[in-house]
Amino acid sequence: MKGRKQVRSHWQLHLDEVFMKINSERHYRWRAVDHEGEVLKNYVTRRRDRKATLKLVRKSMKNYGQPRVIGTDKLRSYCAAMKVIGNADRQEKGRWLNNRVANSHLSFRRREWAMQRFRQARTMQKFVSAQSAIQNYFNQECHLYSRANFKFN
C-alpha cells in the first residue's frame, strides 16, 4: 500500500496530550508516537474529551494500521475512545507508559518558549506539523545500536 507504514507484530502506539495557552485560552496538543519515537500524528483542539481522542486514534490507525499495544496515561477519554473503537484489550494504561511521548514534548516546549507563545491555534497546528517532520528526520534510532556504538557516532 502506497504511503502506509508496514505494520510489524511488535508495533506500539503511544498517545499523550499537553495543554497550552493561546490568548489566555487553554488548548490541547495531542500526539501519537510509535515505539521508535517517531511522531505519527499531531492534533490541536480546544477540548480534552472522547471526541478529540477518537479523532487522533482513528487518523493514526487509518494511516499506520492496527498496533499491538496502545500505551496511554490514565485519562478517562482514552478508555472511552478505546471502547468505541474496540481496542480496549490492546490498551495499556499506567503512569509512565507514555514517557516516550511525554519526552518528545520537551523539544517543542523549548521552541515554543523561544517563539514567545502562539497567537492562534491554526498557527500552532502548522508549526507542530512542520516541527514533528523535522524531528522525525533527525531521529537517531538509538534502539538499533548498542550504547557504546551510539555514543561513538
Q: What is the pLDDT of residues 136-147, one digit of tens each?
A: 666 666 556 666
The pLDDT value recorded for residue 145 is 65
Nearest alpha carbon to residue 104 among 6, 12, 30: 30
- Percent pLDDT > 90 in the chain is 8
The pLDDT value recorded for residue 1 is 44
**61 pLDDT exceeds 60?**
yes
Q: By three-state DSSP, how is residue 40 classified? A: strand
CA-based max dimension of the chain? 47
The pLDDT value recorded for residue 143 is 59
Its pTM stands at 0.68
Q: Name the residue type at position 88.
A: A
> How far is 50 from 80, CA to CA, in rounded Å?
6
Instruction: Report yes or no: 32 and 11 within 8 Å, Cβ to Cβ.
Output: no
- Residue 30 CA to its chain's centroid (Å): 6
